Structure 1
Amino acid sequence: MKKFFLAMAGILLFGSSAFAAAYGDAGCGLGSMLFKDQPGAVQIFAATTNGTAFNQAFGITSGTSNCDAKSIILAEQERFATHNFSGLAKEMAAGQGEQLATFADLLGCPSVKQTRFNSIAQQNYKAIFASETTTPVEMLTAVKTVVSSDSELATACSQVQ
């Protein structure tokens, strides 16, 4: 029984970190407002604040305390772009791939527009990866710009703004 409560406490304290945005790994909530996006161990204090004050669940539900859907979606897009950067570069160059399909999905592009998305990404590869030092966030911004400028994808992909 103790293990169950410890597991539940861990989930409540740290489980929402998967939805973290520019406010740090602890996620949104009072902790994010106090500790901002400071890296490292300070995020433990932010997560503890979020968990002990029970404000994170309220913030997610109400859209307060830095917890809004747009921030969560942007954080997921940035996280995916960062963790899959080299794979996305290869698949965009090839114009197809599993990571590219997932990326399109995160940008709100319906599966019926996948071929168009792949094609546009491949055609604009040099603009998306403008230099060898292009960062994942710069790549994400460039993809959103390319998608937004395509008449077919601009209306179809709902998470590019």
Structure 2
Amino acid sequence: MPPHVLAATTNGTFGNQTFGMTTGTLGCQTNQSVQSMAMYMDSNIDKVARDMSRGSGENLDTLAVLLGVDEADRDTFRKVLQDNFATIFPNSDTTSGEAVDAIVALLEQNESLSKYVAA
């Protein structure tokens, strides 16, 4: 138990989870677009959260562009993220790495959006 608490504290404090996911050292097989989204989320998490809660906005559109979401799928993309806002951001302490992980998991479950996060 103590090593897990230490790891969670370290990841949350120093951003190691996001760094590891972005660089591939965490063992994640992510594609370039997911890595770009992770880097964008690091600097814009509050703005993305605001736009996601509304289901529209320039920062949410930027995520779609970074992931390569086609125009035809963008309404679905926005709706999935807005409808699952509480899953992506369960509390005010959610890190960008945790939010990215949740977004990727949600998109993987969606038939029309899973192609954008395939490794």
* TM-score normalised according to structure 2 size: 0.69
The equivalent of 2:23 in structure 1 is 22
User: Cα–Cα, structure 1 residues 141 and 160, in superposed 2: closer, same or farther, change >3 Å?
Assistant: farther
RMSD across aligned positions (CA): 2.2
- The answer as to 2:91 corresponding to 1:131 is yes
Question: Which runs of 4 or more aligned residues in structure 1 lie more than 6 Å from their structure 2 counterparts after TM superposition?
Answer: none
Q: Per the alignment, do residues 74 and 150 of structure 1 end up closer, same or farther by CA in structure 2, a change over 3 Å counting?
A: closer
* Alpha-carbon shift at residue 73 of structure 1 (Å): 4.0
* 1:109 positional shift: 1.4
Q: Name the larger-Rg structure.
A: 1
Unaligned runs of 5+ in 2: 1-21
Letter paired with 1:131:
N
**1:128 to partner: Cα distance:** 0.4
**Offset, 1:160:** 4.9
Q: State the distance in 1 between where 2:76 and 2:51 align.
A: 14
Unaligned 5+ segments in structure 1 are: 1-20, 24-35, 37-68
Tell me which amino acid in the other structure corresponds to 1:136: S
Of the candidates 39, 42, 61, which is equivalent to residue 79 of structure 1?
A: 39
| Count of residues paired in the alignment | 94
Distance 2:106 2:37 in 1: 16
Percent of aligned pairs with the same amino acid:
23
User: Cα 1:96–1:142, aligned 2, differ >3 Å: closer, same or farther?
Assistant: same
Contact 1:147/1:160 (<8 A) preserved:
no
Residues 88 and 103, structure 2, Cα contact 8 Å, conserved in 1: yes
Letter in 2 for 1:104: A
Quick one: which of 69, 76, 83 aligns to 1:116? 76
Deviation, 1:83, is: 1.0
TM-score (norm 1): 0.52
Q: Do the aligned partners of 1:144 and 1:160 also contact (CA within 8 Å) in 2?
A: no
Q: String of CA shifts for 1:102-128, please: whole Å, max 9, x gaps.
A: 101212211211111000000000000
Would the aligned equivalents of 2:33 and 2:68 in 1 still touch at CA under 8 Å?
A: no
Q: Which amino acid aligns with 1:78?
A: A
> How far apart are residue 75 of structure 1 and its match?
3.6
